[in-house]
């Protein structure tokens, strides 16, 4: 039997909040005032992107290029297109030179490479109507993003060519712009709908306002905390979206459970006792529910990617603030309101919910095995499509098709092919001068071996500038590079080799996200470079493969950490090893079902027209990871709330079947209502424009819907009926 409520620390916390309500409200008001000054500035410290790992092979090669060749880490692509004119014509080239003139003179522009300046055929599309210039910047990517408006201002206001700016800094600037737009749109949709749903749930405007109040304060304080953290560590811009989505969802949910239980206790006890008993029951459940969500989000801290770490940090903060607000601010306000919590009532029909859940419970009791097997088959069928998932890494295609950087990328992709504009970049490192006779000979042999690989469309390097030259001629030519007079060879040498490093560009007709491109990366990495040289293979296809492999090498460790710590937390709460094990398995099933939906929607493209996106045939590799870490704890909330009530009933009566039935009857309606809030908040992000956030919103909404309606209402009670008294098995060491 549990200890009497007055001895519970949560009972004492509720009593303390009731007695010190004004100081508590004052502290939270002060926190809100400070946050109002800091939260609007959070965007100034957040970084776009955060999808790359500095330890991948490609990243190591890029650092070597920067060190030896001075290659820009940040670059722009200026895309030119005309439906009529041809890029090799003098008029077209003169217009390109005119458009680029201002950029060439800018002190932060290191180099501008275009067909008009080099006559490199690879910069002109097969039909001749499209060309592009590469603009290397003496800046990091964040600095280049800040320079972007100034650089764009140097482009002439009118050109008879279509001119589009794309590349990393342009894409990151658009990500920041679209992310802010998405967040504002989601908030405009989710908050009014959540408030309307709460009014329907409670039948009182005042009661409905309490969860929204706690939710808004939690998000506000969290964004202020993220602003302060952003001064000392790098934080991704996506933390705003996820922290808002998660913060509104969990804080409204937690407040919903507490307000609902307070109204129930208020019918039998005076206000101070009702507040204390609410804290001892619903408050205790909120605390442990918050612990499970917090543990899930901590799994994201294991990844060496700024985006994932930022979501983990921001999510953990917002959950902590939500729990703190639900256990201190909300009881203080409830003690002030007392019976006025039901003020401004809305005349709505009542009483049907309890009867509905009583019938559901009765049906499960009569056929527990049939319900158990049927739901397992349903969830297995929903999750089966995930077996054929194709994972991709985030790039400019996460943006909507109408923004400039995405339009420029799409134009390049259609004109040149994805494999041509994003070739594999093989960086070769020598222990000394890369232009020595032996190293040039090894490079020559290496590039010829690369050319023979299936799928290679072309190789560009210092030993491929003239197809008619033999190895010995290249060795003789580079023995005295200062004497080279051919302008094209001299320009090519300056771009492709210097000091200890040389760059080899391997073009392919394969899309970087295709299995053929990944197979080609593996084949290139297996080709011996020869001599004492060392190679690093990077580029879009290699980076995608490395990122996915790295993510899903770490993911099992994060998964084990989350499962073990969550199990131990639930073991501490329920004091039985069976219920936590069942809870962990139930959560995994609902998440698996939502994974299948991701494949159907985002990989196969179903509903893409309705949801406003273009399928790239892959699921972003970060989405299943973030979904698991967020949803495992979030779904566990409902398990904790339901099992806490079932345990109350069992401790009071000792009958498992009756406890399960009464627990479902008393929590089914409120759990479904809480899930509805999460579905509304997460679902509001389904119509955002950044596809990663769209996928997370849809995936979370679907998972919570499945969890609350199928798993929690049917599978959990059926399983508990089948387990019987084994649910409450407790070893002697308890």
Q: What is the pLDDT of residues 279-288, one digit of tens each?
A: 998 898 899 8
CATH number for the domain that contains residue 131: 3.30.70
132 — phi, psi (to 5°)? Answer: -150, 155
Q: What whole-number distance in Å separates Cα of residue 523 and Cα of residue 545?
A: 13
* Domain final position from 499, 514, 544: 544
Residue 344 has pLDDT above 50, yes or no: yes
Residue 209, domain extent: 1-47+203-350
Residue ending a domain, among 492, 515, 544, is 544
Q: Cβ of 451: how many Cβ atoms within 10 Å?
A: 13
In a domain, 282, yes or no: yes
How far apart (Å, rounded) are the C-alpha atoms in residues 462 and 487?
13
Task: Kindly state whether residues 305 and 240 are assigned to the same domain.
Answer: yes
State whether 63 and 134 are in the same domain: yes
Pairwise CA distance, residues 269 & 335, whole Å: 12
Q: Backbone phi, then psi, for 632, in 5-degree steps? A: -60, -45
Q: Tens digit of pLDDT for each residue in 422-432?
A: 888 999 999 99
For residue 97, tell me if it sits in a domain.
yes
Q: How far is CA 269 from CA 211, 263, 264, in A?
A: 22, 10, 9
Q: Which residue has the higher pLDDT, 644 or 221?
A: 221
Q: Which two tokens stand for residue 227?
A: 């602003």
Residue 504 placed within a domain: yes
Average pLDDT, the chain: 87
Interval 185-211 mean pLDDT: 86
pLDDT, residue 49, reads 67
How high is the pLDDT of residue 3? 44
Question: Based on the domain organization, do 117 and 248 belong to the same domain?
Answer: no
Q: How many domains would you assign to the chain?
A: 3
Helices (H) and strands (E) in the chain, counts: 28, 13
Within 10 A of 249 (CB to CB), how many other CB atoms are there? 30
Lowest mean pLDDT across 12-26, 441-455, 659-673: 659-673
Encoded tokens for 182: 């998405």
320 half-sphere exposure, CB direction, 13 A CA radius: 14
Same domain (yes/no): 1, 61: no
Dihedral of alpha carbons 616, 617, 623, 627, sign: positive
Most distant CA pair in the chain, distance = 97
- Please give the residue that has the higher pLDDT: either 224 or 397: 224
Measured between alpha carbons, how far is 425 from 306 in angstroms, rounded to an integer?
24
Same structural domain for residues 221 and 344?
Answer: yes
**Which contacts of 146-155 are long-range, i.e. CB under 8 A and separated by 24 or more positions?**
147/108, 148/76, 148/173, 150/106, 151/76, 151/103, 151/106, 151/109, 154/102, 154/103, 154/105, 154/106, 155/78, 155/99, 155/102, 155/103
User: What 8-state DSSP symbol labels residue 4?
Assistant: P
For residue 343, the tally of other CB atoms under 10 A from its CB is 11
Q: pLDDT at position 354, please?
A: 67
pLDDT digits (tens, 9 = 90+) for 118-166: 666 678 998 999 999 989 888 877 788 888 999 999 998 778 899 999 9
382: pLDDT strictly greater than 50: yes
> Could you tell me if 342 and 263 are in contact, meaning their C-beta atoms sit under 8 angstroms apart?
yes
Q: Report residue 734's pLDDT band, with 50, 70 and 90 as the boundaries.
A: very low
Task: Give yes or no for a contact between 696 and 238, defined as CB atoms under 8 angstroms apart.
Answer: no
Question: Which residues pair with residue 81 across a beta bridge?
Answer: 130, 162
**Is pLDDT at 323 greater than 70 in this prediction?**
yes
Q: Are 508 and 423 in contact (CB under 8 A)?
A: yes
Does a structural domain hold residue 229?
Answer: yes
- 15 and 130 assigned to the same domain: no
552 within some domain: no
Tokens of 724: 């019987």
Q: Is 531 left (phi over 0), alpha (psi -120 to 50) or beta?
A: left
**pLDDT 10s digits, 706-724:** 888 888 888 888 888 888 8
Looking at the fold, whether 243 and 341 belong to one and the same domain comes out as yes
In a domain, 197, yes or no: no
Task: Give the pLDDT band of residue 2 (cuts 50, 70, 90).
Answer: very low
Integer angstrom CA distances of residue 136 from 122, 139, 141, 276, 422: 17, 9, 11, 64, 16
Task: Report yes or no: 614 and 655 within 8 Å, Cβ to Cβ.
Answer: no
Same domain? 214 vs 327: yes
Residue 492 has pLDDT above 80, yes or no: no
Residues 114, 244, single domain; the answer is no
One domain for residues 165 and 139 = yes
> How does pLDDT run across 246-270, given as a tens digit for each residue?
888 888 889 888 998 999 899 889 9
The whole-number pLDDT of residue 120 equals 67
pLDDT band at 74 (very low <50, low <70, confident <90, very high): confident
Contact 305, 45 (CB under 8 A): no
627-685 residue pLDDT tens = 998 888 777 777 777 888 888 888 877 688 888 888 887 778 788 888 888 888 888 88
- Model confidence at 490, pLDDT cuts 50, 70, 90, reads confident
Position with higher pLDDT, 110 vs 406: 406
pLDDT band of 350, cuts 50, 70, 90: low
DSSP codes of every residue in 510-572: S-TTSHHHHHHHHHHHHS---TT-EEEEEEHHHHHHHHHHHHHHHHHHHHHHHHHHHHHHHHH
Neighbours of 704 (CB within 10 A): 29
**641/347 Cα distance (integer angstroms):** 28
More confident of the two residues 394 and 42: 42
164 shares its domain with 237: no
Task: Evaluate whether 481 touches 493 at the Cβ level (below 8 Å).
Answer: yes
Q: What is the pLDDT of residues 399-419, one digit of tens each?
A: 898 999 999 999 999 998 877
- The domain spanning residue 14 has which CATH number? 1.20.1640.10
Quick one: what percent of the chain has pLDDT higher than 90? 38
Model confidence at 352: pLDDT above 60? no
Res 733: pLDDT? 52
**325-342: average pLDDT:** 93
Of the residues 494, 519, 544, the one at which a domain ends:
544
**For the residues 467-471, what does the mean pLDDT come to?**
84
Is position 472 within any domain?
yes
**Which pLDDT score, from 0 to 100, does residue 353 have?**
61
Q: Residue 4: pLDDT above 60? A: no
Which pLDDT belongs to residue 1? 38
Average pLDDT over residues 373-391: 93
Contacts of 3 (CB under 8 A, 6+ apart): none
Q: Please determine, for residue 595, whether its predicted confidence score (pLDDT) is greater than 50.
A: yes
User: Which DSSP string corresponds to 459-523?
Assistant: EESTTSS-TT--HHHHHHHTTSGGG---HHHHHHHHHHEETTEEEEEEEESS-TTSHHHHHHHHH
Residue by residue, DSSP assigns 576-594 as -SHHHHHHHHHHHHHHHHH
Six-digit token pair at 251?
Answer: 């804080």
Query: Does 348 have pLDDT greater than 80?
Result: no
- Same domain? For 109 and 248 the reply is no
User: Read out DSSP for 184-216?
Assistant: HHHHHHHHHHHHHHHHHHHSBHHHHHHHHHHHH
The answer to which of 371-375, 486-490, 534-538, 670-674 has the lowest mean pLDDT is: 486-490
List pLDDT tens digits, range 284-306: 889 988 888 898 899 999 998 88
Structural tokens at position 301: 């801290």
Look-up of token digits 């993510």: 551
Cβ(599)–Cβ(386) under 8 Å? yes
Q: Does 398 reside within a domain?
A: no
């Amino acid at each position: 039997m549990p200890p009497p409520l007055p001895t519970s620390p949560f009972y004492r916390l509720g009593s303390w909040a009731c007695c010190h309500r004004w100081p508590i409200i004052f502290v939270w008001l002060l926190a809100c005032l400070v946050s109002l000054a800091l939260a609007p500035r959070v965007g100034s410290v957040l970084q776009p992107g955060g999808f790359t790992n500095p330890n991948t092979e490609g990243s190591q090669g890029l650092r070597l290029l920067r060190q030896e060749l001075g290659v820009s880490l940040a670059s722009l692509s200026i895309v030119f297109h005309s439906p009529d004119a041809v890029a090799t014509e003098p008029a077209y080239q003169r217009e390109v030179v005119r458009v680029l003139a201002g950029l060439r003179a800018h002190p932060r522009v290191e180099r501008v490479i275009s067909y008009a300046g080099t006559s490199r055929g690879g910069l002109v599309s097969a039909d001749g109507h499209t060309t592009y210039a590469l603009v290397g910047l003496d800046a990091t990517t964040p600095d280049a993003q800040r320079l972007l408006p100034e650089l764009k201002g140097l482009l002439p206001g009118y050109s008879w060519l279509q001119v589009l700016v794309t590349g990393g800094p342009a894409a990151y600037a658009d990500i920041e712009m679209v992310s802010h737009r998405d967040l504002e749109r989601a908030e405009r949709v989710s908050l009014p709908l959540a408030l309307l749903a709460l009014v329907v749930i409670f039948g009182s405007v005042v009661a409905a306002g309490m969860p929204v109040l706690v939710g808004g304060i939690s998000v506000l304080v969290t964004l202020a905390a993220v602003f302060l953290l952003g001064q000392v560590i790098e934080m991704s811009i996506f933390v705003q979206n996820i922290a808002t989505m998660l913060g509104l969802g969990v804080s409204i949910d937690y407040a919903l459970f507490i307000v609902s239980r307070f109204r129930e206790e208020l019918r039998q006890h005076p206000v101070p006792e009702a507040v204390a008993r609410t804290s001892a029951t619903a408050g205790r459940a909120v605390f442990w529910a918050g612990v499970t969500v917090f543990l899930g989000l901590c799994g994201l801290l294991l990844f060496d990617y700024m985006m994932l770490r930022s979501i983990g940090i921001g999510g953990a903060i917002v959950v902590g603030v939500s729990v703190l607000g639900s256990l201190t601010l909300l009881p203080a306000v409830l003690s002030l309101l007392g019976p006025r919590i039901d003020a401004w009532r809305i005349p709505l029909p009542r009483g049907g919910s309890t009867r509905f859940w009583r019938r559901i419970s009765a049906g499960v009791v009569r056929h527990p095995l049939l319900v158990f097997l049927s739901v397992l088959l349903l969830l297995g069928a929903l999750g089966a499509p995930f077996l054929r998932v194709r994972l991709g890494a985030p790039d400019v295609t996460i943006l909507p098709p109408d923004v400039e950087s995405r339009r420029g990328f799409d134009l390049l992709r259609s004109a040149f092919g994805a494999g041509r504009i994003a070739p594999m970049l093989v960086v070769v490192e020598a222990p000394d001068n890369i232009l020595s006779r032996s190293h040039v000979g090894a490079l020559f042999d290496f590039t010829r071996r690369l050319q023979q690989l299936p799928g290679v469309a072309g190789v560009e390097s210092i030993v491929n500038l003239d197809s008619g030259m033999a190895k010995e001629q290249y060795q003789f030519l580079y023995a005295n590079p200062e004497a080279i007079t051919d302008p094209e060879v001299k320009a090519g040498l300056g771009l492709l080799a210097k000091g200890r490093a040389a760059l080899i560009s391997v073009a392919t007709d394969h899309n970087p996200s295709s299995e053929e491109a990944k197979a080609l990366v593996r084949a290139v990495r297996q080709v011996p470079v020869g001599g004492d040289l060392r190679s690093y293979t990077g580029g879009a296809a290699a980076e995608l493969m490395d990122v996915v492999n790295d993510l899903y090498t770490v993911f099992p460790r994060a998964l084990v950490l989350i499962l073990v710590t969550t199990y131990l937390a639930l073991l501490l709460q329920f004091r039985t090893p069976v219920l936590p094990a069942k809870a962990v398995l139930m959560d995994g099933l609902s998440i698996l079902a939502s994974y299948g939906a991701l494949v159907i929607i985002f990989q196969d493209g179903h509903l893409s027209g309705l949801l406003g996106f273009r399928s790239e045939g892959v699921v972003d590799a970060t989405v299943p990871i973030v979904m698991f870490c967020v949803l495992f704890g979030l779904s566990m909330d409902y398990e904790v709330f339901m099992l806490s009530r079932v345990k109350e009933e069992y401790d009071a009566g000792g009958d498992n079947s009756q406890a399960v039935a009464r627990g479902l009857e008393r929590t089914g309606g409120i759990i479904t209502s809480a899930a509805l809030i999460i579905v509304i908040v997460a679902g509001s992000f389904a119509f955002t424009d950044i596809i990663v956030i769209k996928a997370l919103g849809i995936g979370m909404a679907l998972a919570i819907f499945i969890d609350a309606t199928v798993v929690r209402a049917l599978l959990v009670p059926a399983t508990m009926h089948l387990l019987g008294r084994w649910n409450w098995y407790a070893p002697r060491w308890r």
